[in-house]
Structure 1
């Protein structure tokens, strides 16, 4: 488990917020991601990139791999551990049906792939958000020192993608998005799922813009879905 100061140190390094699914809160708001500031409901009609505009997983991985990092004082990933992140993403994507590119985008948004990022707590919600996807009461997390096994790494990815006994993952949130929006656009459902993952399952309604008002959702990242879209079309930080 990491202290708040250690986690804030990582925030300073990466510019990310650790945005927990369902819990509605984060430690700090994330700075605006460089790229296009997409606005609206995540649809192609609103100008958001369709999945045909997403880069390939191999391209996305090669772009992001050099930027996977941890702050000073935190044990960094070994080369083998970082390779196991890739393998874990591909394994969970295959078993869950969630696009591997979407999983990687959320990992980079949440933790920059730092395996020993630790956990954040959702104030007032009694929710612990561990691991590289900062999942909802996830059961997998790397030790602060020593090797982090492949099974743990894959488990962290599964917690965030397929959910835990206490909260939804990307898979369930995409299904919810399909029900709420009635959309069949793969990309739009991913952007809605990202919004839910960051600010909670009940944070937006059909027809709502994905850039939420932080006065209504304190601690959420207004540009979270837009950030994910930018990552999927090749931007990285």
Structure 2
């Protein structure tokens, strides 16, 4: 969930050419419509987030790759950043109210989304049985009243399906653990080859939490309700006029999950 993260000082000040997509990590995610300052990120994604100073563009990098900061530019690099996003990620950026995000009739089926992400899960160290257990856990926890594909899209956004993902601590001092990086979830950092019960316990904790978010917006199985609940799951509060307003969390969170629901991958 990784909400309410406080800013940190960049670990490095390595500059690079904004126009070059070759010098930027394939694991970097960039929000092309915002400019920003560096903040912590637990996933291997990148992000640009708002800052008062309009001259500086800062890319948030994977903790595996360190932090790299773009120097101030005389003109905003929206075009080159957008091109980089398309080349490296294949993700489309969505912003605005829920109607500006993809409708449910464009979402892929759960089996299609799951199959498209098997390779990514395997790269985390997951065993074939871990992957099978995730599938079964999602099926079981969907009985709580949350769509299978939404549960799985959150899992991929939060942990890339890594059953041994590390436990993090949010700004309130609470641990956010497990496949859905949820407050109060069990976690098994560094472990793989988990039992079905262990994996289901993580998915159940995150699904129960998200179910509460759905209830805050009418608890309906509609794209509008789901997108608003996703915003709250990540940031704790929602600007319904712009679901890419991160409120101090990850601006592109809802947009990223929407892309995953369309079958797009890392």
TM-score normalised by L of structure 2: 0.65
- 4+ residue stretches of structure 1 with deviation over 4 A? 12-16
Larger Rg: 2
Question: How many residue pairs are counted as aligned between the two chains?
Answer: 190
Partner of 2:146: 98
CA distance in 2 between counterparts of 1:121 and 1:13 reads 26
Structure-2 residue corresponding to 1:157: 203
The answer for the alignment partner of 1:170 in structure 2 is 210
CA 13–78 in structure 1, closer or farther in 2 if over 3 Å, else same: farther
CA RMSD of superposed structures (Å): 2.3
Going from structure 1 to structure 2, the CA distance change for 1:13 and 1:148 (only over 3 Å counts) comes to farther
Question: Whose helix proportion is higher, 1 or 2?
Answer: 1
Give 1:224's aligned residue.
253
1:5 paired residue number: none
- The 2-side partners of 1:190 and 1:85 are apart by 21
CA distance in 1 between partners of 2:265 and 2:244 (Å): 20
Q: How does 1:67-216 map to 2 (within 5 A)?
A: 67-69=120-122, 76-93=125-142, 95-123=143-171, 125-138=172-185, 140-142=186-188, 144-145=190-191, 147-162=193-208, 169-178=209-218, 186-200=222-236, 203-205=237-239, 207-212=240-245
Higher relative contact order (CA 8 A, sep 6+): 1
TM-superposed CA distance for 1:144, in Å, is 2.9
Identify unmatched segments of 5+ residues in structure 1: 1-11, 17-25, 163-168
**Structure 1 pair 145/188, CA: closer, same or farther in 2 (3 Å)?**
same
Q: Is the 8 A contact 1:161 1:170 kept in 2?
A: yes
- TM-score normalised by L of structure 1: 0.73
| Partner SS state of residue 129, structure 1 | strand
